[in-house]
């Protein structure tokens, strides 16, 4: 029986909880150790010629894509046809210390996604060594994004964001980048309008220290998937499901050999992310002023706690806010 969707209902996902649920019949190898000595596990599936490398939770407090990836693995593990066409290497938690502590950074306080060139951390080194040996045809860089991002000026939350990262400061449409664009545009078109209206395009400023930019620069198509939040679903059960569907569409789109001439056009129609998202808001009628508040997140005794912060004045010109929990 599949465990997909039934395990890990909450955001806090330490390694022990995750690995307890992983099917012991799957090939699982350690590709290195974290700062605190936790193994960095990689699941290997399939024997096909198309090699896909995906990793999640390089930011320890971003478990939604890990949960969606787990569901996806549960789905494909028995798919003989797919596994004869593709090979998969999935690092479910690149930053297990951060997952335990519920922090973005690793145990040294370093953001691994700013360490691609420096390779100063054991987690980064484990990844880069594995990447060189595995030589993937496609990379999937899986993250969570905060309740900050909105879709252009549509007043809708960015429940998902995609990006074909840049390979240089000029944001050139290199061959690798265009391949990521082709797959993203395919994925986007598979969703219905309700989901499409909640998909944003992530910022494509180039930073060679970011994994996606670094790997695209090396000529490997890389897709960034950011799991946001749908409305007040703070456990992110809805976006977990969307991540699962996204991964399915990515593999179908990547495997299809047909070229789409209008893929870039489709990709560019996805509105860029804006930052008009707040957890809670209100309108002060006397002052004729909007106020918004964003929670801070902490690890409590029973999982993640969302704490109130001070309300801030919102720019009255940009009246395009989205309040995840509505108005107070």
Binding site for Zn ion (CB under 5 A): 59, 62, 143
Please give the Cα distance from 9 to 109 (Å, whole number): 27
Residue (45 or 116) nearer to Zn ion, CB: 116
Q: How far is the CB of 226 from Zn ion (least distance, A)?
A: 7
Q: How many helices (H) and strands (E) does the chain have?
A: 10, 17
Q: Which is nearer to Zn ion, 143 or 240 (CB)?
A: 143
Nearest residue to Zn ion, using CB?
A: 143
What is the end-to-end Cα distance of the chain in Å, rounded?
A: 43
CB of 111 to Zn ion, least distance (A): 9
The CA distance from 151 to 270, in Å, is: 9
**Both structure tokens of 138:** 């496609």
Which residue number, 143 or 156, has a Cβ lying nearer to Zn ion? 143
Q: In this structure, are residues 314 and 290 in contact, taking their beta carbons and an 8 Å threshold?
A: yes
Q: How far is the CB of 282 from Zn ion (least distance, A)?
A: 30
Choose between 59 and 198: whose C-beta lies nearer to Zn ion: 59
Minimum CB–partner distance for residue 104 and Zn ion (Å): 7
Instruction: Scan for tokens 């456990």, then name that residue.
Output: 235
The C-alpha atoms of residue 107 and residue 101 are separated, in whole angstroms, by 8
Report d(CA 308, CA 327) in Å as an integer: 14
Nearest Cα to 143, choosing from 202, 101, 196? 202
Would you say 62 or 74 has its CB closer to Zn ion?
A: 62
Nearer to Zn ion, 243 or 314 (CB): 243
Least spacing, CB of residue 100 vs Zn ion, in Å: 17
Cβ at position 60, least distance to Zn ion in Å: 9
DSSP secondary structure, 69-135, as one string: HHHHHHHHTT-HHHHHHEEEEEES-S-HHHHHHT-SS-TTS--GGG-TTT--SHHHHHHHHHHHHH-
Select 87 or 216, whichever has its Cβ closest to Zn ion.
216
Q: Closest distance between Zn ion and the C-beta of residue 62, in Å?
A: 5
CA distances from 249 to 17, 212, 255, 291 (A): 28, 20, 10, 39
Cβ atoms of 14 and 21 within 8 Å: the answer is no
């Amino acid at each position: 029986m599949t465990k997909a969707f039934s395990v890990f209902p909450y955001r806090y996902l330490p390694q022990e909880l995750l690995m307890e649920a992983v099917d012991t019949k799957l090939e699982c190898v350690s590709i290195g150790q974290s700062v605190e000595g936790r193994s960095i596990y990689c699941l290997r599936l399939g024997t096909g010629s198309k090699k896909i490398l995906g990793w999640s939770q390089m930011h320890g407090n971003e478990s939604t894509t890990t949960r969606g990836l787990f569901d996806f693995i549960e789905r494909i593990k028995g798919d003989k046809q797919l596994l004869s066409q593709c090979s998969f290497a999935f690092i479910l938690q690149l930053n297990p210390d951060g997952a335990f502590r519920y922090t973005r950074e690793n145990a040294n306080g370093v953001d691994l996604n700013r360490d691609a060139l420096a390779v100063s951390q054991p987690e980064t080194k484990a990844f880069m060594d594995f990447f060189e040996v595995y030589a993937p045809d496609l990379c999937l860089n899986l993250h969570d994004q905060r309740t900050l991002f909105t879709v252009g000026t549509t007043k809708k939350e960015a429940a998902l964001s995609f990006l074909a990262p840049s390979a240089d400061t000029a944001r050139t449409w290199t061959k690798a980048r265009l391949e990521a664009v082709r797959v993203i545009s395919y994925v986007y078109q598979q969703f219905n309008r309700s989901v499409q209206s909640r998909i944003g395009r992530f910022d494509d400023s180039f930073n060679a220290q970011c994994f996606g930019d670094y790997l695209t620069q090396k000529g490997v198509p890389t897709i960034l998937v950011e799991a946001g939040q749908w409305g007040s679903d703070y456990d992110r059960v809805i976006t977990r499901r969307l991540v699962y569907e996204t991964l399915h569409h990515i593999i179908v789109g990547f495997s299809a050999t047909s070229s789409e001439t209008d893929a870039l056009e489709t990709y560019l129609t996805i509105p860029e992310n804006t930052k008009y998202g707040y957890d809670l808001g209100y309108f002060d009628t006397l002052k004729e002023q909007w106020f918004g508040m964003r929670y801070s997140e902490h690890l409590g005794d029973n999982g993640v706690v969302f704490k109130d912060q001070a309300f801030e004045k919102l720019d009255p010109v940009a009246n395009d806010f989205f309040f995840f929990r509505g108005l107070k």
